Amino acid sequence: MLPLKKHLATIISLGFLLSGCADDDFFQGDARIAKDAPADSVWVTAGRHYKSGWLHRLFWGDHYREVWAEPVKVPVFDMTQLHGGLTFSEKGGGYQSLSFELLDSLGRQYALRSIDKDPVEVLYDFWKPTFVTNILRDQTSAANPYGALIIPKLAEAAGVYHANPKLYYVAKKDTSFGPYSNMAQGKLFMLEEKYKSAADRKPGMEKVYGFEGSEDVLKLRFNTNTHHFVQESFARARLLDLLVGDWDRHKGQWDWAIVKQGSETYFEPIPKDRDQVFLKMDDGVVPFIATSKFLARKLQTFNYNFTDVKALTINAEFIDKRFLNELTADDWQRIAKQMQQSLTDNIIESAVKDLPPPAYKLIGKELTEKLKNRRNLLPEAARKMYEILAKEVTIVGSDMEEEFIVNRLDDERTEVTIKRLQTTIAPARQLYHRIFYSSETNLLTLHGLAEDDTFIVKGNVNDAIPVKIYGGLGEDEITDSSVVKGRKKMTEIYDTKRGNEINFGTEAKDRTTRDVRVHAYDREGN
């Protein structure tokens, strides 16, 4: 590992010096009024500064430099004419993109985000005055500047909620952004709707009550057992992420549609910020080395095949483990095959043609063929996704009373069920059920969180999946009556020594403690 990193640092320094790229090589795209278009359109380049000579491209990759530097015709942004008239609300808080929040007369919200980015703010102050800043800026060219335009038709066919981005150029004399106008002038942006309040509902969202961000829905889910993530919908959204190679799907990249049914509340996923689809990183000496499994593995190039599904799940690991822990291998295959049937050749071809025509001419056919081939391989990608998630599974209750039942059915199968007791706000209900297989799963972890929970472990087998039980706050009742042959104990019970009723039987290992930190569980990934 150390020699590899040392050699990589040498290659990076040498490559950047030989390529002759300096600070003043970076500038915003330029625009000119189109001779063959109305006065409200311009020809604009997303990033002419990404053009470079052969030596720079040898070390740092061709990426999408041609696309960034190719002029495309886009409408001029006019805040008074779009969506019945928009008003500037506030400047967005993104670290890399310049963004603004806008409102229409009905209270619907929109985001206007710059196509080009400056990633310098993600660096520590020590690195900002160094060549590392220019490296990061230059590698923005690995992203497809117009990739988000392809997503809506694919998402619609796959049954995934989505935004509908459109390109606009902000004129050099536009003053509609108040004190921030000079920051927006002369730049290329993408406008898309946001999902923040009931006013933002679109056709097909008639049952949606409202919208929330990931942190809020995580709090609701773990506070009460009447709130649920629709795991099949999230799996569909995640398979769409794999299809388009979107590796940057951390919890901040999602909004959630809220649907109420009686006493129950359900959360449906809405992916956002499609900045990293169709990445192209493996066509330069340094990026090829840097994206190996030992370094920046997650920056995977969008190829004809799913070369590394694990890499595409790294940034989403926190939410994947919490929102996809109930689906079986059969569930994943059924969802993948449904998406295969829905994502027809015609839909893929039509989606890619939503690129600006000059960009389509450069990369359209290649992207189309890659999408078709990846579509054909979706069941295989789903199988790999399932295998990754099945290795170690955490199952979490809420801050209300629940009953956890672990039934060691036989040497291969372990059944986990969670039941909700009847309360004044909701009837009794089975909250969770799944059968796990020893050939797939190495560890099961249960968290009761708060209130008085009951845990029951039973079954008489020769071998079993190890189980860890964290009772959580409250006066818990934990009983392990199971028997697993062999000397190793296959159940571990973690709780405080006082205030609980625990029957360890012959199979459970006592991990109780006086330290209340044993109750800790990372609910929000902060």
Interval 433-473: pLDDT, tens:
999 999 999 999 999 999 999 999 999 999 999 999 999 99
Q: Is the pLDDT higher at 107 or at 25?
A: 107
pLDDT at 8 over 90: no
pLDDT at 16 over 50: no
Q: Verify that 350 and 485 share a domain, yes or no.
A: no
| Cα(500)–Cα(63) distance, integer angstroms | 59
The number of residues in the chain equals: 526
pLDDT at 19 over 80: no
Residue 150 forms part of a structural domain: no
Question: Residue 479 burial by CB count (10 A; 0-12/13-18/19+): exposed, middle or buried?
Answer: middle
Mean pLDDT of the region 402-407: 98
pLDDT at 14 over 50: no
Residue 138: per-residue pLDDT: 79
Q: Verify that 124 and 227 share a domain, yes or no.
A: no
pLDDT at 269 over 50: yes
Residue 25: per-residue pLDDT: 40
In which residue are the tokens 């640092």 written? Answer: 9
Q: Verify that 137 and 211 share a domain, yes or no.
A: no
Residue 300: per-residue pLDDT: 86
Per DSSP, which regions of 159-286 are E strands? 166-170, 187-193, 208-213, 227-229, 254-261, 264-271
Residue 151 forms part of a structural domain: no
Residue 466: per-residue pLDDT: 98
Residue 295 forms part of a structural domain: yes
The per-residue DSSP string of 104-141 comes to: ETTS-EEEEEESS--GGGGS-TTTTTSHHHHHHHHGGG
Residue 166: per-residue pLDDT: 97
Q: Verify that 378 and 284 share a domain, yes or no.
A: yes
Residue 268: per-residue pLDDT: 97
Percent of the residues in the chain that have a pLDDT greater than 70, as a whole number: 87
Nearest by Cα to 431 from 443, 442, 420: 420
Q: Verify that 333 and 235 share a domain, yes or no.
A: yes
SS3 content of the chain, % helix, strand, coil (to 5): 35, 25, 40
Q: Tell me the pLDDT band of 372, cut-offs 50, 70 and 90.
A: very high
Please state the pTM of the whole predicted model. Answer: 0.90
Q: Verify that 218 and 241 share a domain, yes or no.
A: yes
Q: Tell me the pLDDT band of 285, cut-offs 50, 70 and 90.
A: confident
Interval 25-40: pLDDT, tens:
433 455 555 555 556 8
Interval 158-170: pLDDT, tens:
999 999 999 999 9
pLDDT at 419 over 80: yes
Residue 254 forms part of a structural domain: yes
Question: Residue 281 burial by CB count (10 A; 0-12/13-18/19+): exposed, middle or buried?
Answer: buried
pLDDT at 24 over 60: no
Q: Verify that 377 and 466 share a domain, yes or no.
A: no
Interval 223-238: pLDDT, tens:
999 999 999 999 999 9
pLDDT at 330 over 80: yes
Q: Verify that 191 and 217 share a domain, yes or no.
A: no
Which DSSP helix (H) or strand (E) runs through 477? Answer: strand 477-480
Q: Verify that 427 and 482 share a domain, yes or no.
A: yes
Q: Verify that 300 and 369 share a domain, yes or no.
A: yes
- CB count, 10 Å around CB of 6? 10
Residue 272 forms part of a structural domain: yes
Residue 157 forms part of a structural domain: no
pLDDT at 6 over 50: no
In which residue are the tokens 């809420």 written? Answer: 398
Residue 351: per-residue pLDDT: 98
Interval 195-225: pLDDT, tens:
999 999 988 899 999 999 999 999 999 999 9
| Cα(281)–Cα(143) distance, integer angstroms | 8
Structural domain harbouring 340: 205-388
Q: Verify that 210 and 269 share a domain, yes or no.
A: yes
What tokens were used for 483? 């028997």
Q: Tell me the pLDDT band of 61, cut-offs 50, 70 and 90.
A: confident
| Cα(21)–Cα(378) distance, integer angstroms | 40
Most confident of 89-98, 247-256, 403-412: 403-412
The three-point CA angle 402-433-485 to 5° equals 95
Q: Verify that 286 and 230 share a domain, yes or no.
A: yes
* Last residue of one domain, picked from the residues 366, 388, 410: 388
* Last residue of one domain, picked from the residues 388, 403, 419: 388
* Last residue of one domain, picked from the residues 371, 388, 405: 388
Q: Tell me the pLDDT band of 122, cut-offs 50, 70 and 90.
A: low
Residue 7: per-residue pLDDT: 43
Residue 10: per-residue pLDDT: 42
Residue 120: per-residue pLDDT: 57
Residue 153 forms part of a structural domain: no
Residue 149 forms part of a structural domain: no
| Cα(247)–Cα(269) distance, integer angstroms | 17
Average pLDDT, the chain: 89
Number of domains in the chain: 3
Q: Tell me the pLDDT band of 303, cut-offs 50, 70 and 90.
A: very high
